[in-house]
Structure 1
Amino acid sequence: MATLRQLEYLVAIVDAGSFTRAAERLNVTQPGLSHQFQALEREVGGPLLERLPRGVRLTSAGRSMLPHARAALAEAGRATLSARRAAGVSTGELHLATLYSVSAGVLPAVLGRWRKRHPGVRVRLFEYRSSDELAQGMVAGVADLAVGPLPDRWEGTARHLGTEEFVVVTAADDPLAGQGTAARVRLADLADRAWVHFTPDSGLARFLDDACARAGFRPRAAVRTEQAAAAVGYAAAGLGPTLVPASSVPRHFPEAVLRPDPPVTRVLTGYTRTSPDSVAASFLDLLEEHAALMPRHVARRLGLRPRTS
């Protein structure tokens, strides 16, 4: 049976691109690393890597084994942390995976509160461009907990955190900006506009395309960016409207913020591969209590009742 050390060597060789660099990173001798890796190949019954003049390349068996090796190493790390937590140790790490747009909008205030309550527990953040990539990371065992839309047919534990509204942002001198407080806008009325869009590999690109498709058109792109915060800035500069999570709009933002009619939303959840341990469950409790899916300053501008928690 493969050992964790052998799986660690496989991952290190792939990530480093060579046996030599992997040995240096792991602070082991190259002959010792090679010996353990050859034992792993004998265990699985065939080569996992093809040795090239400049680097290595995974074989089909190696490509099949690599994600399981990463998951096993991550799970072993979490097992150690879980045991320390159960023993009352107040140090360690919470591995948290999320989307870029959630990381920039929803999480900062919650992580600030978490830090004050648990100063000895570090947070390691894994950020992804799309919901699909986030789910794939969780399947691979990257993190203890994910915050984002729940993947289809997810078999692990999930907790509903709330429904996040999206808003349309435009420049202050846009004709839409003169409609006053609580202004609404039909996306169909923006069909002839060039939009501040998102790069194709960003999950927000598909979200914007789907919202516009429901309104009966396909948005033209004036510029594309990967980040919601950058899209807000470009829209404020007059490059075109954009559609972003309300939590992405900064406080004291001087430009136009409008509510799509009908509303455009996404449901956020906290989900895990298995039952969350006490630390992950505690973070979920805090997130559910304090996450500002619709920040007060945005809610007031839209004429909505701000969240009171």
Structure 2
Amino acid sequence: MDRRSLEYFLAVVDTGSSSAAADTVHVSQPTISVAVKGLEKELGGALFVRTPTGLTPTAAGRSLIGPARQVMRDFEIAHESVRDTLGLRGGEIDIGTVPALAMSWLNQHIVNFRLKHPSVTVRVHLENDDRLINDRVRDGRYNLGLTVTAPNIVGLSTRHVGSQNLVALLPPGSPGAGEPIDIGELAHRDLITMQRGHSSSRRWLETELGQRGIEPQIGVVLGTPFDIVPMVAAGIGYALWWSPMYGESDCVVRPIRPAYERPINLIKRDQAQSPASLAFLAIVERSSESESLPVNTEGPHMITHNYTGEKESTS
């Protein structure tokens, strides 16, 4: 069993077919098939079963996925450590996060990090489920994770790095900027939101209003949060918005009653971190020691978002 065989195995897991896996890792399909068969012979059992939707891992295959990702991540750490010792530049970080944190805390920290380490590639993966982020940090797919719930999982460490407050985002020119507004006053306005399973703020609002015998008036339902601010700014409704978050300066912001606050948690594996990850954690440490983190709401957005989540959202 070697690194290359595990890489090919994981490519089949992630793509669901040997041909797609071959395209992903830039080798021929027979090379993938030979590598998988070699692993199966060495381990003494089938790793995949063919189904109408493609190749699906067997129970044995599923048990190999986590350790295989761990091995691949450890190889990456070893490679980066040598380069770091030799004074070479480079490296990469994969960070999993819910969208609302990518649009605020994470964005600013990536800006600070890239200004200091411009040769390191940062990849941000948007997920709708804290549990999925935790799993992917644990199995090595992501170096770090940002969640709004603290996991109690062996092998993972959690650090509280900030918080967000839920506010009402109203169209420009709305009265009462900065003044608290009761959610009951919002109930008969058009709400711009996401699908219920993708929006914790919508579920919270429905629960709170439901206790008063009221339902929110839904105006627009979106698939992602990135078009919410432009629609509010255009005057077609209001939104519940996690603050601080980019774009809110374009609208009128009012605190809500009852107040709703949630933590920002940074998740990492207990095992050794790559030099690039350690450098990012150092940036976080320094910002945590300062009184506050400046938020540049007009600055460039440097993140390429990979929106993959489909489960119930904590965003």
> Does TM-score exceed 0.5, indicating one fold?
yes
> What are the Cα deviations for residues 143-196 of structure 1, in whole angstroms up to 9, with x where unaligned?
2222232433144222221222221012246xxx323x4311111332344421
User: Any idea what SS the aligned residue of 2:244 has?
Assistant: helix
- Deviation of 1:197 (Å): 1.8
Q: Say whether residues 1:246 and 2:243 are aligned partners.
A: yes
Superposed CA deviations along residues 58-105 of structure 1, whole A, max 9, x for unmatched, are 334334433443343233323322443355443211222222221122
1:1-309 alignment runs, 5 A limit = 2-51=1-50, 55-86=54-85, 88-155=87-154, 156-172=156-172, 177-179=174-176, 181-202=177-198, 205-215=199-209, 216=211, 217-250=214-247, 252-253=249-250, 255-274=251-270, 277=273, 278-288=278-288, 295=295
For 1:239 and 1:63, the matched residues in 2 are separated by 48
CA contact (8 A) 1:165 1:293 kept: no
Which blocks of at least 5 consecutive residues in structure 1 are unaligned?
A: 298-309
Mapped partners of 2:3, 2:296: distance in 1: 48
Q: Give TM-score, length-normalised by structure 2.
A: 0.77
Q: Secondary structure at the match of 1:248?
A: coil
Counterpart contact for 2:159–2:267, Cα < 8 Å = yes
Between the aligned partners of 2:249 and 2:29, the Cα distance in structure 1 is 57
Partners of 2:218 and 2:247 in 1: CA distance: 23
Q: Greater shift after overlay, 83-92 or 135-144?
A: 83-92
Which amino acid is the alignment partner of residue 119 of structure 2?
Answer: G
Cα contact 2:161–2:288 (8 A) shared by 1: yes
Residues 172-228 of structure 1: per-residue CA shift (max 9 Å, x gap): 46xxx323x4311111332344421212442xx123312442453553432212433
- 1:260, CA displacement in angstroms? 0.8
Structure 2 distance, partners of 1:291, 1:164, is: 16
CA distance in 2, matches of 1:31, 1:296: 51
Alpha-carbon separation, structure 2, partners of 1:188 and 1:259:
13
Kept in 1: contact 2:148–2:265 (CA 8 A): yes
Q: Compute the displacement of 1:268 (Å).
A: 0.7
8 Å contact 1:235–1:242 — kept in the other structure?
yes
Q: 1:163/1:252 Cα in 2 relative to 1: closer, same or farther (>3 Å)?
A: closer
- Runs (4+) off by over 6 Å: 290-294
Partner of 2:308: none
Greater Cα shift, 62-71 or 263-272: 62-71
* Secondary structure class of the residue paired with 2:46: coil
Distance in 2 between the 1:227 and 1:20 partners?
31
How many residue pairs match? The answer is: 289
Given the two structures, how large is their TM-score scaled by the length of structure 1? 0.78
Distance 1:122-1:26 versus aligned 2 partners, 3 A rule = closer
**Structure 2 CA distance for partners of 1:261 and 1:124, relative to 1, 3 Å:** same
> Residue 258 of structure 1: CA displacement?
0.7
Partner deviation per Cα, 1:124-159 (whole Å, 9 max, x = no partner): 222223323322322232222222324331442222
- Larger mean Cα displacement after TM superposition, 282-291 or 135-144: 282-291
SS at match of 2:202: helix
Two-structure CA RMSD over aligned residues (Å)? 3.1
The runs of 5 or more residues in structure 2 that have no matched partner are 298-315
- Counterparts of 2:139 and 2:196, CA distance in 1: 23
For the residue of structure 1 that corresponds to 2:204, the secondary structure is helix
1:222-250 CA-partner distances (Å, limit 9, x unpaired): 22124333222223334432111123352
Q: Flag the 1:14–1:271 CA change in 2: closer, same or farther, 3 A.
A: closer
Whether the 8 Å contact between 2:171 and 2:232 is mirrored in structure 1 is yes
